[in-house]
A and B are shown apart, each in its own frame.
Chain A
Amino acid sequence: MQRRKIGFLIIALLIVLYPLVVSDSYKVYIMNRSLIHAIIAMGLVTQVGFAGQISLGHAAFYGIGAYTSSLTVLKLGFPIGLGFLAAILLCVLCSVFLSVPSFKLSGFFLSLTTIAFGHIVWVIIVNWQSLTNGALGVFGIPSLSLFGTRFNNTHYFYLLVVTIGLLYFFIRRITNSFIGRAFMAMRDDELAAECSGINTRYFKLLAFGISAGFAGLAGAFYAHLSGFISPESFRFAESTKFVGMAVTGGLRHLLGGIVGAPIVTFLPEMFRFPGWETYYMMAATFVILMIVVFMPDGLAPLLEKGFNKIFGERSTGKGGSSE
């Protein structure tokens, strides 16, 4: 048990030192982007992996969050914190539109509905020019600040790490409780779950709501981190990427989102050897394909096993996976 604590301490140390050791601020920015993606992926793991409700249109919530926070701050003069809140709330509200079809549809049909939702939101963003400035995007989004200091990449890094930590504990509490059990029962056999007294409509609303809220929060972070947003970041291709992150990390593992996002974000960079300019994207997508096909439980369980081997097993109870 002591050894495990040392293990966690080492990881914590590595995380704290990261922005101080890495000299290139741009690399920290990319890491920040991947942490923001991790928030989305965590929500997807909850909704898709634990509750069994598929979503291939999540970029829509990411976009709604980003635009809501930017526009309320820029046009309505909201303090940024309130902008974040508005982003989350609006996304949760919109998720109701998506969960209602999920009451009757599942699998392929539900996935098409989510794709449709994603696309329709994108079209609205592009065409509602008076509100969103259309394809030109929104400029000049103020960065977060505390006590007069504007956040730089290092500040954002620590804030994101803390946020992800809090979200992780939130999700862990939920999935390890009777609510998580209801999610998983609904995922594994919806009919049997209902006949066992589970109100699946409520839990679908809850699952969609949580993951939409996460994506909205991520969107708000992105808007204020980057200072500029445009519809380009919220297309269908992005939705696919987010799902890819969740699956690569491990769809049914609590750490799946946190592991998958950085991997998918940094993998192409790892292949950027000199001479590989044309090949690196193909190589990266090939690796992800191989992981998804041959390692269905994702990378998080492997990492967990590795950690356990070095630092010892948990003394009681299960690991982070939903089994």
Chain B
Amino acid sequence: MLQMVLQNSISGMAMGLLYGVIGIGVCLFWQTTGLINFAHISSAMLGAYFFYTFYVMWKLPMVISFILAIGLVALYGVFILRGVIYKQIMGRKGGRLEFIVATMMLNIFLLNLVVVLWGGVPYPFPNIFGSPMNPLRIGGIVVQYHSVWVLVFTGALVIGLNFFFKRTLTGKALRATAQNKDTASLMGIGVEKMTALSFALSTGITAIAGILLAPIYFVSVELGGGIIGIKGFASAVIGGLTNPFGALVGGLLIGLAENFSVFYISSSYRDVITFVLLVFFLIARPQGLFKKM
């Protein structure tokens, strides 16, 4: 019995962490702009496709492919998301609604763009995170290597981000800008640069999640199509938009709930669990689980 519970938990946790990483991207964006980017999940999709192109199609070394993919998505974040969409709408004092709708349309366009550039057929992801046929066995429990990698990457991300935000000057400057643009500017912080950096971080981190999700969802438009994005939002909301690391807890909650609900209820209701949790939190505790970082 315990074994079954543990088994279920492990697989659920890995997915949950990935939802959480997407949620971190959402939180970072929110903290900087006060807006929600409905094209957020396409950063994950683009990350997966770019990595696939560099590593599998152009046969570049794995680490280079990884860095290039994330860098390219970050550049998209700075120059297209921010440079075009954000600047246009905020420049004419557009509202949050406008930005939501514009990014929704951006997402649809990006989905179509991907189909044009890479075709509509999903690509299988190479087994760089271990083969699903050959998992780890601890005690009687099966642990996929992929889950271990997810844990490693997420851990590294958390440690890295924490160090960045609390110990480096740039990180602190970023937090300052997020809290109060005008004061930060008066303190000599380049607000424009910091905003650009936030966009880059938000999209780049989500790209990492995309690359890690690709083994499960394949390199496909499904990655950018929808339900995963909503789970990312849900993780962020449940965790509390003001605390990026809370999103990880939110994601874990969703991942675990999903796995257990599939086990005890029918699997066709799997995605509904996210929404039930989401609605519960929106009604009972919209500020999420955690307070400001």
Contacts and interface: CB of A to CB of B under 8 A. Distances in A.
A108 B282 contact: no
A292 B271 contact: no
Contact of A109 (B104, B112, B282): B282
B97 A48 contact: yes
Nearest to B286: A109
A288 B105 contact: yes
Contacts of B186: none
A15 B89 CA distance: 36
Contacts of A286: 109, 112
A182 interface: no
A282 B116 contact: yes
B112 to A, nearest CB: 4
A123 B274 CA distance: 13
A261 to B, nearest CB: 15
A52 B225 CA distance: 27
Contacts of B113: 282
B165 interface: no
Given A107-B97, A109-B286, A243 B104 contact: yes
A321 to B, nearest CB: 16
A115 interface: yes
Nearest to B283: A101
A249 to B, nearest CB: 12
B106 interface: yes
Given A111-B100, A244-B105, A282 B115 contact: yes
B268 A126 contact: yes
Contacts of A279: 116
Interface string A233-272: 0001100100110010001000000000000000000000
B137 interface: no
Interface string A287-304: 011001110100000000
B269 A112 contact: no
A278 B120 CA distance: 10
Contact of A293 (B102, B108, B115, B271): B102
Nearest to A237: B226
Interface in A91-122: 101, 104-105, 107-109, 111-113, 115-116, 119-120
Interface residues of B, number: 39
Given A109-B237, A112-B237, A282-B115, A54 B97 contact: yes
A14 to B, nearest CB: 29
A118 B90 CA distance: 29
A105 B284 CA distance: 11
B89 A296 contact: yes
A25 B115 CA distance: 31
A240 B230 contact: no
Contacts of A109: 237, 282, 286
Nearest to A124: B272
A54 B100 CA distance: 10
A37 to B, nearest CB: 16
B257 to A, nearest CB: 14
A190 B199 CA distance: 30
Contacts of B237: 109, 112
A186 B80 CA distance: 33
A127 interface: yes
B269 A127 contact: yes
Given A127-B268, A296-B98, A112 B89 contact: no
A281 interface: yes
A145 interface: no
B117 to A, nearest CB: 9
B156 interface: no
B268 A108 contact: no
A285 B97 contact: no
B269 A123 contact: yes
B233 A293 contact: no
Interface string B83-96: 01100110010101
Contacts of A247: 101, 105
B109 A282 contact: yes
Nearest to B117: A282
A243 B97 CA distance: 11
Nearest to A268: B112
Given A108-B96, A285-B108, A236 B286 contact: no
Nearest to A100: B283
B56 interface: no
A126 to B, nearest CB: 7
B88 A293 contact: yes
A120 B100 contact: no
Interface centre among A52, A294, A296 (most CB of B within 10 A): A296
Contacts of A115: 230, 275
A113 B109 contact: no
A127 B270 CA distance: 12
Given A123-B272, A296-B89, A101 B102 contact: no
Interface of B: 36, 84-85, 88-89, 92, 94, 96-98, 100-102, 104-106, 108-109, 112-113, 115-116, 225-226, 230, 233-234, 237, 266, 268-269, 271-272, 275, 278-279, 282-283, 286
5 contacts: A56-B104, A244-B108, A286-B112, A292-B98, A293-B102
Q: List the 7 closest A-B pairs by CB distance, nearest first.
A: A282-B112, A116-B275, A285-B109, A108-B36, A289-B105, A289-B109, A281-B112
